[in-house]
């Protein structure tokens, strides 16, 4: 099977070029996309096109999962399965997700699109003492964002935000809250526009929202799971109606603490493509896993991508338990 693991799709939509180390890193992660292909448990490995070349010695075969043969670049002809539809730029725009959240009544108070430093200055005047974040409209894995607090948009932060506005155009501004759990929902938009969703999964993140892994079947209160799935359905239906997008998607969400109470923010991002939640579910069907991780592996973990050990090599790894 021919697979296009275009994990650089967001950068392409944003009109920027990823640094070579990032291209190598995401190409290693891209090899796991082969788990989403039908079959592949035995016989010939799939052929997978990724942004950069991959050292095959880093890829570890497991019973039920054969690493793909990796080709750098874009496939020359038709492919059977793509990580992201190259035409799905509009469906993946974070400003669209924010507008849908506002229409559904689930957007965070104070969230908005800012198109200039002057607009940002005006907006953060009402954020005295409160933390916030600005995100590029197309990005992945917690990249291309800047954190601030209150009305202090000075020094290196102002320089960084100015460069982001020049590079990416308008940014999405959100309050930065006391997150206590990160969650996600995978789903599918069928050809007729019908939306189906899976049970929620856990997103493992660092303190600043960087992605570290997927936890399948976490214990989630139905009072959280049900509105989360309902919002995912409604948001995906809106994206389908507005853009014509059909195919896989995933919604990111989180639970946060405010004044001692916990609240669900059910629509942080909508990714109209495959995600690592999809990969974790595919690996669960093949290997019976419950967790997919990208931080240093715990004892006894099943290794899928070995860390590099050569001069200047990165320490990218992937494992499951």
Quick one: pLDDT at residue 50? 97
Quick one: pLDDT at residue 60? 97
Q: Supply the DSSP string of 239-269, one letter for each residue.
A: HHHHH---EEEEEEEEEEEETTEEEEEEEEE
Quote the CA–CA distance of 202 and 259 in Å, as a whole number: 24
CB of 255 closer than 8 Å to CB of 177: no
Torsion of CA 6, 272, 98, 89, to 10 degrees: 50
C-alpha distances in Å from residue 174, one per residue of 3, 98, 179: 35, 10, 13
CB of 217 closer than 8 Å to CB of 199: yes
- pLDDT higher than threshold 90 for residue 52: yes
* CATH class as words, domain 90-107+177-271: alpha beta
Q: Which CATH number fits domain 112-175: 3.30.1490, 3.90.226, 3.40.50, 3.30.450?
A: 3.30.1490
CATH 3.30.470.20 domain residues, the chain: 90-107+177-271
In which order are the strands placed within the sheet that holds 131-135? 112-114, 171-175, 131-135, 145-149
CATH 3.30.1490 domain residues, the chain: 112-175
pLDDT tens per residue across span 54-76:
999 999 999 999 999 999 999 99
40 pLDDT tier (thresholds 50, 70, 90): low
Largest CA distance in the chain: 61
Average pLDDT over residues 185-201: 97
3-state secondary structure of 292: strand
Quote the CA–CA distance of 82 and 92 in Å, as a whole number: 15
Quick one: pLDDT at residue 312? 66
C-alpha distances in Å from residue 287, one per residue of 29, 92, 93, 115, 205: 18, 30, 34, 46, 23
* Beta bridge pairs of residue 49: 4, 71
User: Residue 308 carries which DSSP code?
Assistant: P
Average pLDDT over residues 182-208: 94
Residue % of the chain over a pLDDT of 70: 97
311 pLDDT tier (thresholds 50, 70, 90): low
CB of 315 closer than 8 Å to CB of 307: yes
């Amino acid at each position: 099977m021919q697979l296009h693991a275009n994990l650089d799709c967001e950068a392409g939509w944003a009109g920027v070029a990823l640094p070579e180390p990032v291209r190598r890193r995401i190409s290693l992660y891209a090899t796991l996309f082969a788990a989403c292909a039908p079959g592949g448990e035995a016989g010939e490995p799939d052929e997978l096109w990724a942004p950069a070349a991959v050292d095959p010695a880093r890829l570890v075969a497991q019973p039920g999962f054969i690493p793909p043969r990796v080709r750098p670049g874009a496939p020359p002809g038709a492919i059977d399965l793509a990580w992201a539809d190259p035409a799905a730029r509009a469906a993946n725009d974070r400003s669209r997700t924010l507008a849908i959240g506002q229409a559904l009544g689930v957007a965070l108070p104070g969230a908005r699109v800012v198109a200039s430093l002057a607009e940002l200055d005006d907006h953060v005047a009402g954020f005295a003492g409160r933390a916030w974040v600005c995100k590029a409209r197309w990005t992945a894995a917690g990249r291309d964002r800047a954190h601030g607090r209150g009305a202090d948009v000075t020094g290196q932060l102002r320089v960084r935000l100015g460069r982001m506005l020049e590079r990416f155009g308008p940014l999405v501004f959100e309050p930065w809250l006391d997150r206590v759990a990160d969650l996600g929902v995978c789903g599918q938009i069928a050809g007729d526009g019908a939306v189906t969703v899976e049970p929620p999964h856990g997103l493992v993140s660092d303190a600043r929202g960087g992605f570290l892994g997927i936890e399948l079947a976490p214990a989630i209160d139905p009072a959280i799971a049900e509105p989360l799935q309902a919002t995912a359905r409604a948001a995906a239906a809106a994206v389908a109606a507005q853009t014509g997008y059909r195919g896989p998607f995933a919604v990111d969400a989180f639970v946060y603490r405010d004044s001692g109470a916990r609240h669900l923010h059910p629509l942080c991002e909508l990714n109209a493509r495959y995600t690592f939640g999809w990969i974790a579910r595919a690996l669960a069907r093949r290997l019976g896993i419950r967790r997919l991780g990208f931080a240093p592996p715990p004892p006894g973990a099943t290794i899928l991508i070995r860390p590099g050990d050569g001069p200047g090599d990165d320490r990218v790894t992937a494992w499951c338990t």
